Chain A
């Protein structure tokens, strides 16, 4: 187990280093830089050269990368040109906002999706199961880009929830938590609904397979009430494949949160990354990419460890690939 953890940790470090380095180099090689982007053709070439020298953009790529990487090892990730603040200060704030959004969405999706999947998976027919199936088919067909537009549309029409940002300027200080929660509803639901539908489909499939197993029949034959068989016995066995899905969902969650953050103006990593990319703010780009990779690595690690605890076979070297394929 320790060895397994160590291997996963090493992978996380490699992932973060590769992703942030690659984005640093790519952003540096891209045509145009922060200075030409912000000052443009309005100023003389001397001013541009001076500005470049001040920001350290005049050095050759290899040297610049070496300096940045060396500083990054000391946890100094450079200065954001766009915000004129250290990247190391800026990113944790925004990353926390994205984490709040992602966790809220994941929790909502789980709370909505899993029980519904158990209901539709455990019974063959019935109006309830058919309705849930239809709704979830509709929601599976609505990626977060569309759900967030739809929810913003509803919220704007009804005025039930704020549609943009994370805090309103008018709220009193003691209401901060409530205020954030109110702002969280639309973006979190936008990510959660398609995810809940996907979970419902998966859980239903897993459940209906489990229901067919001999041990379920045996339990029913012993005279256990059907509700107990479904919710206690079969549920435990049906949860395992779902647990494996959570690790894969982190990437989906991050990708989905990008569109939602942009549409609902949620001040998270996605909107920050977009600003950084547009402004060619290379230190901020590398920082955002690294933070995203860290999220991903930690998420997959936590879910893999959880899976290894549930199912010890998963931590044996070599078996995981076969299990996934």
Chain B
């Protein structure tokens, strides 16, 4: 049951990321200068006169530019338009009364749209980094477990050392000593490499242990006896035995990487500004002291992160229960 709920949450996040160009009402960098920090425009179906209508929104009217306070202009309904211009839903009057499902940020950009585009970067980076960690960790752990001896000792000492360090500080330091101004692609590649290296020891340790014990099994001896080479034995017989472990580790690494990206971007060492990632959105929110009291919608990336991590944990929890039973 919980597994199903977890899978639904994860699927929703993946759909949001992949479908961003279609699902988001706006591009990630469109600014509405007159709607800085504007609240969400809730879709209504009942108007003030009590009549039923297809979903519509009200326009925000600026009450105080200094205080950034807005008031719903209830005199006119702004209907929504579906499937126009390659987007799922938009306001019919996009220039003056855009559809802002989660409000606007301090640059007047649509938070909901940025959340969807941000999912691409945050989830994409975490997934790629986790796969990278699996490749590096699998190679190291496989070699260490298969070869044994001094190589095993050396590699395991190195992973021990990396594991004992607080990963957040290492990532922070590694990122900070590199040039501070980089393009988004460079940052993406850089963070993916840093995270992959920091995550690899966790994979390597377990893979090594499994490879070591599987090597003594009969099927491994049989494969060796009929003349399988060392590489073949490792790649075709021993490493596949680590699948279950690696799958669990990936579900642990992905949320850790999502949060790491968010933390780095939050302190200004992640992606450069116009790029939407969940971390840069929080960074933007954090620069505003009124965010907690007056503009809570700016914190929605935190909620998105929570949903994804919760989804992964729900799936993982069932995994534990199943393995405990079996």
Contacts and interface: CB of A to CB of B under 8 A. Distances in A.
B177 A26 contact: yes
Nearest to A274: B267
B166 A255 contact: yes
Contacts, number: 113
Nearest to B174: A26
Contacts of B172: 258, 273-274, 277
A163 B286 CA distance: 13
Contacts of B286: 263
A142 B309 contact: yes
B177 A29 contact: yes
B310 interface: yes
A141 interface: yes
A251 B179 contact: no
A137 interface: yes
B21 to A, nearest CB: 28
A273 B269 CA distance: 13
Contacts of B178: 30-31
A138 B313 CA distance: 9
Nearest to B163: A251
Nearest to B178: A30
B139 to A, nearest CB: 19
B164 interface: yes
Contacts of A193: none
B133 to A, nearest CB: 17
Contacts of B274: none
B102 interface: no
Interface in B243-292: 255-256, 259, 262-263, 266-269, 282, 286, 292
A323 interface: no
Contacts of B302: 145-146, 149-150
Q: Range of interface residues on chain B?
A: 35 or more
A29 B178 CA distance: 9
A153 B306 contact: no
Interface of B, secondary structure class, is helix
Given A29-B177, A156-B293, A255 B305 contact: no
B169 interface: yes
Contacts of A274: 172, 267
B266 to A, nearest CB: 7
A300 interface: yes
A251 B263 contact: no
Interface in A135-153: 137-138, 140-143, 145-146, 149-150, 152-153
B168 interface: yes
Contact of A251 (B166, B173, B259, B306): B166
Nearest to A325: B209
B161, B259, B299, B312: residue with the most chain A Cβ atoms closer than 10 Å = B259
A292 interface: yes
A59 interface: no
B26 interface: no
A143 B293 CA distance: 22
A254 interface: yes
B114 interface: no
A145 B165 CA distance: 19
B317 interface: yes
Contacts of A27: 173, 177
Nearest to B285: A149
A15, A145, A251, A273: residue with the most chain B Cβ atoms closer than 10 Å = A145
A19 B314 CA distance: 37
7 contacts: A19-B165, A26-B173, A145-B302, A156-B293, A256-B168, A259-B259, A277-B269
Which 5 pairs across A and B sit closest by C-beta, in order of nearness?
A255-B168, A156-B292, A30-B177, A277-B176, A141-B310
